[in-house]
């Protein structure tokens, strides 16, 4: 059924690539007006040309409170309201262990994920209250649910998003504002490449290989795609999920009930042409 977001206005962070871009395109197809927030201005400009009047791009560093507020304000000043906020921006983080973490690394990861999502809520909620309700969605991860799917700081941050979702859902439910999270599994995006230190352009070239290989790491024998997460976000943003709040929706092809830990990621690393022994030797404390 088309038009599931007809008349609704959404703000999506991390909107210019991967899961964010897939979600923007689906939301627009389903009738929403969307503000896409990102730092990839070239991609954002092309999206604005392709999507037309239903889309606005804004440069936004989600570690900046002022930038987050500006993205929310743009939606309200352009279309008079905000019905859905998707806190999606994030990166995979460095492959550190507990003994390797730094204060700077901790602050960077927590600000990018937890702080950004919380301040997104802060600035969206007053407008949602005025409109009589809304939906807030944040990208968490299977790494926030169990061990073995990410480095320690990233995993802590994603677990924090899951719990923050529950607390905020309890606080905002009386205002008809629903708060949910999505926990992706192995989704074919550039996040794996960037977490290994590849530049954005180089990381983009690894996506096809990830999509082809990821199916061997989980019960459903295909790689996860941004469209899979976009469909979950569409459900949570739509009225069809009107009785769903405080939920962490797992979209992972069954990986959390299948292979775990390093075994799950090995096929992806190999598909990216990474020598696993060489990678292990580069990790802090392994030399």
Other beta carbons within 10 Å of 259:
18
Question: In the numeric block, which tokens belong to residue 273?
Answer: 């042409």
Q: Using an 8 Å Cβ cutoff, are 45 and 57 in contact?
A: yes
The per-residue b/e assignment along 99-130, b for 16 or more CB within 10 angstroms, e otherwise, is eebeeebeebbbbbbbbbbbbbbebbbebbee
DSSP letter for 286, please: -
Q: Is 235 annotated as catalytic?
A: no
Tokens 């937890």, located at residue: 114
Backbone angles phi, psi at 132, to 5 degrees: 95, 10
Q: Using an 8 Å Cβ cutoff, are 10 and 33 in contact?
A: yes
Which residue is catalytic, options 57, 86, 154, 235?
A: 154
As a whole number of angstroms, the distance between CA 152 and CA 159 comes to: 10
Strands (E), 88-176: 134-139
In this structure, which long-range contacts are made by residues 41-46, counting pairs with CB atoms below 8 Å and at least 24 apart in sequence?
43/16, 43/17, 44/15, 44/16
Q: Which residues are identified as catalytic?
A: 154
């Amino acid at each position: 059924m088309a038009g599931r977001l007809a008349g609704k206005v959404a703000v999506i962070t991390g909107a210019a690539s991967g899961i964010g871009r897939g979600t923007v395109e689906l939301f627009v197809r389903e009738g929403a007006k969307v503000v896409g927030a990102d730092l990839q201005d070239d991609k954002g400009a092309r999206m604005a040309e392709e999507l037309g009047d239903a889309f606005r791009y804004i440069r936004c560093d989600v570690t900046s409170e002022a930038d987050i507020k500006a993205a929310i304000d743009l939606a309200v000043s352009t279309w008079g309201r905000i019905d859905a906020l998707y806190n999606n921006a994030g990166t995979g983080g460095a492959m550190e262990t507990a003994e390797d973490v730094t204060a700077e690394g901790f602050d960077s990861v927590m600000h990018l994920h937890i702080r950004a999502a919380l301040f997104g809520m802060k600035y969206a909620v007053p407008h949602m209250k005025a409109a009589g309700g809304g939906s807030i969605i944040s990208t968490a991860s299977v790494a926030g649910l169990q061990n073995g799917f990410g480095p320690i700081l990233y995993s802590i941050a994603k677990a924090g998003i899951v719990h923050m979702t529950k607390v905020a859902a309890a606080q905002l439910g009386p205002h008809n504002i629903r708060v949910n999270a999505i926990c992706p599994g192995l989704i074919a995006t550039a996040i794996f490449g960037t977490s290994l230190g590849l530049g954005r352009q180089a990381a983009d070239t690894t996506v096809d290989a990830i999509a082809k290989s990821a199916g061997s790491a989980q019960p459903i024998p295909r790689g996860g795609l941004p469209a899979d997460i976009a469909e979950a976000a569409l459900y949570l943003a739509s009225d069809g999920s009107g009785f769903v709040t405080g939920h962490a929706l797992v979209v992972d092809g069954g990986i959390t009930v299948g292979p775990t830990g390093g075994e799950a990621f090995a096929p992806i690393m190999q598909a990216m042409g990474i020598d696993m022994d060489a990678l292990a030797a580069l990790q802090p404390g392994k030399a």
